[in-house]
A and B are shown apart, each in its own frame.
Chain A
């Protein structure tokens, strides 16, 4: 249990900054629609309020505001402990490396789940303040998509952080990996398999025209989760073999 506490204490600043940034961004987009529409006219003018939110909060730049903290939450592993000179103390505790890594993964996934529901907690109530409505069920639907896509991105960042030295090397490498991965996943023969987390978080290839009744892409979500689990397994294996 205390390993979870440790993992939480080590990631709480990154999580809270990410959650605040995400909540602030959602609030800004809801409260400042007219100004935002001016800046993104070609993308959102003429569409409904729901489509405006879908386009700029759950897709586009809004996705980046979610993905960035997820990448930074992925910073973990023993190399990070070594950089802080605490690896010896941690490794002297009577716990396996798998437990140590597992607690970081579990706490990270919990934090991603919370980040994923932040828009759902902020947008529907604030929308009422500006005399608009955004269905909470739709926000939660995006929450699930973001959790799964975010878990995969977190897994990539975590794996890179397990074997790359340097405080910011892993997040930068993760960003590059994500862009490359998106290119590969959008290659026509691979498109039907939904391998891009950035796309999976949209829930479709084209956001306009979808609605709340569209079925969730369960196959894509399952593939993404399995890939994330595979990456976690590789990260654990590497950690178990690491010499520090």
Chain B
């Protein structure tokens, strides 16, 4: 595995007894982009992230962050100098004050930027002398973000970052993540809140039952993915639509709904040639793509 991708995995698998939490996952996350890691609860997102960070050892397969293998203890430690992580729990050392935790974390990174830390602390209104255990979950998330961003990490990995945040804090978080790529950071974040992912992600990887079920660029999705609703005077010829670009076909009476990943114009032309009485082409949302993909995978 080279350094072509910020994150790369090949056949990454994690078993807990008989349960396969992650199953043969092969991912490629490009540099300097925001990549959303979508999946339902229990799909294997957190386990994948824990394997990437060397917290959990893979049962099989390989992975690399910035070209360094994740399952080598020495390399994994070195990787963590360049990778920041904001975990799902957002639990930090409750017995420390905000200031103590900032000083503690800063001591591990030669590239720590005190002025950025000060600036973020002011922006997030984090009181220096408050014990971390006395902060709300939203405030803890902001503190975790501060600790991650004050180092200008090459990769920022976040696990369900918006969980427990109020709408204003979510806006702030999404703005921060979007801006991070401008500083050369690759953002990889897991979420099951599709609307948030759709707002800021450049790419999306979808995982279900531990398997990668889709990988797509959101620009491509917006440009190419379409829902085409066709009406026919007679029962629709379902078989005729097994053409390039069609992901899914659903028929209800004389109506046919096609989900297309490409070639919307070709599909419409075909429909007209088959005497479709009505043709409606609409863009699709990431939520629709996700639901279809997950359903298809089942």
Contact A91 B53 (CB under 8 A): yes
Q: For chain B, what secondary structure do more than half of its interface residues adopt (helix, strand, loop), or is it mixed?
A: loop
Docked-complex contact A2 and B104, CB < 8 angstroms: yes
- Known pairs A5-B104, A94-B108, A240-B73; A88 contacts B55 (CB<8 A): yes
Q: Does A85 contact B (CB under 8 A)?
A: yes
How many residues does chain A have at the interface if contact means C-beta atoms less than 8 Å apart?
Answer: 23
Q: Is the CB of A89 within 8 A of B108?
A: no
A32 proximal to B (CB < 8 A): no
B50/A86 in contact, CB under 8 A? no
Which residue of A9, A96, A244 contacts B50 across the interface (Cβ within 8 Å)? Answer: A244
* Contact bitstring A78-102, B, C-beta under 8 A = 1, else 0: 0000001111110111111100000
Interface residues on B, range: 20 to 34
> Would you call B80 an interface residue if the criterion is a C-beta within 8 Å of the partner chain's C-beta atoms?
yes
Name the residue on B nearest A9 (C-beta).
B95
Name the distance in Å between A85's Cβ and chain B's nearest Cβ: 4
| Chain B residues closer than 8 Å to A84, beta-carbon distance | 91, 94
Taking the complex as formed, is B93 at the interface, i.e. its CB lies under 8 A from any CB of chain A? Answer: yes
Asked whether B56 is an interface residue with its Cβ less than 8 Å from the other chain, the reply is yes
In the complex, B54 has a CB within 8 A of chain A: yes
Task: List residues of chain A with CB within 8 A of the CB of B78.
Answer: 94
* A88 touching B108, Cβ below 8 Å: no
- Indicate if the CB atoms of B91 and A89 lie closer than 8 Å: yes
B247 lies within 8 A of chain A by Cβ: no
Q: Which residues of B contact A92 (CB under 8 A)?
A: 53, 55, 80, 83-85, 87
Distance (Å) between the CB of A79 and the closest chain B CB? 13
Scan residues 68-87 of chain B and give those whose CB is less than 8 A from a CB of chain A.
73-74, 77-78, 80-81, 83-85, 87
Task: Tell me, yes or no, whether B96 is within 8 Å of chain A by CB.
Answer: yes
Task: Say yes or no: A95 contacts B77, CB within 8 Å.
Answer: yes
Which residues of chain A have C-beta atoms less than 8 A from B252's C-beta? none
CB of A188 closer than 8 Å to a CB of B: no
> Min CB distance, B150 to chain A, in Å?
14
Q: Which residues of the partner chain B approach A91 to less than 8 Å between Cβ atoms?
A: 53-55
Complex interface: chain A residues within 8 A of B28 (CB) = none
A47 at the interface (CB under 8 A from B): no
Contact B80 A93 (CB under 8 A): yes
Asked if B109 lies at the interface with its beta carbon under 8 angstroms from chain A, I say: yes
Q: Determine the chain A residues whose CB is within 8 A of the CB of B135 once the complex forms.
A: none
B55 near A86 with CB under 8 A, answer: no
Shortest distance from the beta carbon of A174 to any chain B beta carbon, whole Å = 24
* Contact present for B77 and A243 (CB under 8 Å): no
Check if A6 is an interface residue, CB within 8 A of chain B: yes
**B187–chain A nearest beta-carbon distance, Å:** 16
Flag A93-122 by CB within 8 Å of B: 1 or 0 each.
Answer: 111110000000000000000000000000
B89 interface contact, C-beta 8 A: yes
Are A96 and B93 interface neighbours, CB within 8 A? no
A10 and B95 in contact (CB under 8 A), knowing A92-B53, A96-B77, A243-B56? yes
A87, B55: Cβ atoms closer than 8 Å: yes
Nearest 6 pairs between A and B by C-beta? A85-B91, A88-B87, A92-B85, A94-B80, A85-B89, A243-B56
Q: Which residues of A contact B (CB under 8 A)?
A: 1-2, 5-6, 9-10, 84-89, 91-97, 240-241, 243-244
Q: List 14 A-B contacts (CB under 8 A).
A: A1-B107, A2-B108, A9-B93, A87-B55, A88-B91, A91-B55, A92-B55, A92-B84, A95-B108, A96-B73, A96-B77, A244-B50, A244-B55, A244-B56
8 new A-B contacts, CB < 8 A, other than A88-B53, A94-B109, A244-B56, are: A86-B93, A88-B87, A89-B87, A89-B93, A89-B144, A93-B108, A94-B108, A240-B73
